[in-house]
Structure 1
Amino acid sequence: MSPFPGLLPDEPVDSVAHLIQTALTPIFMLSGIGTLLNLFNTRLARVSDHIEKATDALKAAANRAERLHLHRHLTHLHRRTLLLDASILLGAVGGASTCGAAFVLFLGSLRDSAVASWLVMMFALALACTVGALATFLCDSLVAWHGLRVSTSWARKARFSVKTPKGQ
């Protein structure tokens, strides 16, 4: 009887090491994707702060040239939010795909044994929860993005509501 259920007693160490490498590679990739998503969200938060400051400055702008400059700055910030939106969306899909790849690799590496069904069930639950976390993160990001869009839209509308005194 093998000391480790699920592994055949005469199975070479190399195949066990390969199984471990196969299982860990997607985990490192998922960790990297998570770090990128954190970076993208931090940058998106900074852009949001810039939008708020530029919007406030636009409301207080004294002359037409300053308002025009702030409007261009807000347009630039809007483009940045679109790029960060795409980055976050692609990162979340990449994370979910990594989980799917890990699941496929894991299923392909299993042998017939009594413990195999438990391993599949537990690993599948972990992957499903990770995919669910990424999906809810994406939903949260969509809500936050909507807020940015409203701020940017409001700032653009505010630009047109400011009356310019004659001679400026």
Structure 2
Amino acid sequence: MALSGLGMLSDDPAGAAAHIVQTALTPIFLLNGIGTLLALFNTRLARVRDHAGRLAELLEGQVQPDEAARLHWHMKRLANRVFALDLSIVLGACGGAATCGSVFILFLGDVKGSNVAQWLIGLFGLALGCTIGSLLAFLADSILAWHAFRQNGPVPVSTKASRAGE
């Protein structure tokens, strides 16, 4: 079996197949990491959406004008965080798909005996680029969260008007 797609020739078919499996494992570790990041991003997005829902409920109640302005500011910040987390998830998913594509191209190239190095490098490069973009978008969410927390405190869970009625 020839590994012409990888620029390597082998007289040992079992050794050639083992080499392909070993080479395919590298992207799989990246895929595992991306999957873990996607779970983290989704969990964080769910928390942000829960906060936004609670703020929407508070805004429907009796709210003083100064508190309403503060709640609207928090809603805008949460909307920015949702955008950053959505972008993280989309880029992470694209990175995962490109990683799977690189493994598929690796196997396809060996089966067909064709040169797939350019495709492999392109897809794996795309996977790394999307993963880096995903992490940068997550960094943007983290900066938004910490900056807002230091500037205005945590997201309110109640207003003075609703606390007075309790």
- Specify if TM > 0.5: yes
Take 1:73 and 1:48, find their aligned partners in 2: how far apart are those partners? 12
Is the contact between residue 61 and residue 67 of structure 1 (CA under 8 Å) also seen in structure 2?
A: no
Which structure 2 residues correspond to residues 70-85 of structure 1 after superposition, within 5 A? 70-85=71-86
Take 1:67 and 1:32, find their aligned partners in 2: how far apart are those partners? 41
Task: Provide the residue aligned with 1:11 in structure 2.
Answer: 12
Give, in angstroms, the shift of residue 10 of structure 1: 4.9
Q: Name the aligned partner's letter for residue 47 of structure 1.
A: V
Which structure 2 residues correspond to residues 1-168 of structure 1 after superposition, within 5 A? 10-11=11-12, 15-110=16-111
Take 1:25 and 1:93, find their aligned partners in 2: how far apart are those partners? 17
Take 1:15 and 1:91, find their aligned partners in 2: how far apart are those partners? 32
Take 1:62 and 1:19, find their aligned partners in 2: how far apart are those partners? 64
Q: How many residues get paired?
A: 104
Give, in angstroms, the shift of residue 52 of structure 1: 0.8
Which structure 2 residue ranges, 5 or more long, are not aligned? 1-9, 114-166
Take 2:71 and 2:28, find their aligned partners in 1: how far apart are those partners? 44
The ranges of structure 1 where at least 4 consecutive aligned residues each deviate by more than 6 angstroms after the TM superposition are none
Is the contact between residue 58 and residue 70 of structure 1 (CA under 8 Å) also seen in structure 2?
A: yes
For the pair shown, which has the larger CA radius of gyration, 1 or 2?
1
RMSD between aligned residues: 2.3
Using a 3 Å threshold, how does the CA distance of structure 1 residues 92 and 64 change in structure 2: closer, same or farther? same
Which structure 1 residue ranges, 5 or more long, are not aligned? 1-8, 113-168
Give, in angstroms, the shift of residue 12 of structure 1: 8.2
Q: Name the aligned partner's letter for residue 36 of structure 1.
A: L
Take 2:53 and 2:112, find their aligned partners in 1: how far apart are those partners? 57
